[in-house]
Chains A and B, each alone.
Chain A
Amino acid sequence: SQQGEEDPQALSIQEGENATMNCSYKTSINNLQWYRQNSGRGLVHLILIRSNEREKHSGRLRVTLDTSKKSSSLLITASRAADTASYFCATDASGANSKLTFGKGITLSVRP
């Protein structure tokens, strides 16, 4: 069963706008990760946030984690057409053994 549930399922924005995607999960986690998947390709790791962290930045990406609400958000600032992809959150509830549980993903379309 899916641990992470992303919201919204699909998002369409104009180039230059910010995109915010949310992820909720059910059980305690050790870390939460965000991945991007371009059409027909494998997933690419974007950012990892640990359960004792509240916010993390990487370039145009900002991720927050609220363990009390069991939720995370991914913000992409100043979006580009190349950001068009599916985005997945994945949770590590085990703390070891590479056992990630993925959500169903968000489809982001950035219009030029």
Chain B
Amino acid sequence: NAGVTQTPKFQVLKTGQSMTLQCAQDMNHEYMSWYRQDPGMGLRLIHYSVGAGITDQGEVPNGYNVSRSTTEDFPLRLLSAAPSQTSVYFCASSYSGAEQYFGPGTRLTVT
């Protein structure tokens, strides 16, 4: 199993551009989440999903959209990138909603 995969690994955007961060898992997990990690801030939950077709907001959802059309994929869309969205983004999945499996992360810089 590949586990949780994220693409791209690195991305540079200009302010106002949009993009989609991809996340996929091959473990048939129902639960998937997106976090951002900033220096000194730990991880903060952006959006999460408990199954295909079901998503909900986390702690810091503004400026991000998600959808869950399949169990495997959970893309995160930045609608209009801002410098405050410069961060490392992690996708995670879970079978039971407890132990989470994390992807390797996407390092995003917005200039």
Contacts and interface: CB of A to CB of B under 8 A. Distances in A.
A98 B43 CA distance: 14
Interface of A: 1-2, 31, 33, 35, 40-45, 48, 88, 90, 92, 96-105
A31 B94 CA distance: 15
Contacts of B13: none
Interface of B: 4, 31-33, 35, 40-45, 48, 50, 56, 58-59, 90, 92, 94, 97-105
Contact of A97 (B31, B101, B103): B31
Contact of A98 (B42, B94, B104): B94
Consensus secondary structure, chain B interface: strand
A61 to B, nearest CB: 14
Contacts of B56: 97
Contacts of A35: 102
A2 B42 CA distance: 8
Contacts of A88: 42-43
